Structure 1
Amino acid sequence: METKAIEVLQIIESNGRIPLPTLAKMVDATEEEVQNILKKFEEDKVILSYSAVIDWTKVEKQEGVTAMIDVKVTPQRGVGFDEVAERIYRFPEVKALYLMSGAYDLQVVIEGKTMTEIARFVSEKLSTIDTVISTTTHFQLKKYKHDGVVFDQGEEDHRIVVTP
């Protein structure tokens, strides 16, 4: 893959809303070249989506609960973890699903309105899948950084430093 194409990917990964003329200047290309690069990446499923990082704690009555669920499963002959992973990621509550190394096989990230809703998902949907052996649920308490974006950096301390 050529250097300009990689540069385009790196730039839009950190800012998917960057204007096309600015992006073209940054990689020293024409707008048409950059537009063709983006179109090709979208067609080839290299660029899957453009998204925003939102601090839901600052939106009134919209804050929910996020949980990371570690799942131990029995892999199936011929398909490994793929079949059970597909069953899990089809649930609308599932925001992310990863195959992991270590004590657990999969990590499921889900969002709900309440802890009870998360508990119901685990007990009624996730743990009822035949190949699921066990689960461990972790609730997200505070988000400090996500996708490279730091949350709630707070006010800068403007006090004068006093030293003896």
Structure 2
Amino acid sequence: MIHPTALIEAGATIAPDAKIGPFCTVGRDVVLDAGVELVSHVAISGRTRVGAGAKIFPFCTIGLEPQDLKYKGEETETVIGPRTQIREHASIHRGTLTGSGITRIGADCLLMATVHVAHDCVLGDGVIISNNVALGGHVEIGDRAVIGGNAALLQFTRVGTG
């Protein structure tokens, strides 16, 4: 189901059972797998794949250009794992060529409200990130790690195993 106020660019790949709520925007290189739900006012762009059963809440931005002065428009990606929940006002930027080229969120993660995930971050499966957390570029978080509210992880920080 796609709400009539949603804007979907030609070329986007959307599973037949995906739900796209009011005022969402989905870019041409976006893939939404089976059962994905964009609640409302979600903006997804760039080469971004959202895994099956993921749910993204209002005012999230995913796959936008990284906040990195070295970035010059190269083709990079964002991958969101299956069954992951991304809560209100979260932002996830795509990778850079100086990193892996991919920002990756694992399966079964919960990113609470106003979380920021910068370019080239890698989150394992089952990660929980509490409200107002900021992850700098190239941060790695291992499986099932929990990051408490209002934390800021500097670039290249590694938490947990993986």
TM range (shorter): under 0.3
TM superposition score normalised by structure 2:
0.22
Structure number with higher helix proportion: 1
Of the two structures, which has the highest relative contact order with CA contacts closer than 8 Å and spacing of 6 or more? 1
Q: Which has the larger radius of gyration?
A: 1
TM superposition score normalised by structure 1:
0.22
Structure number with higher strand proportion: 2
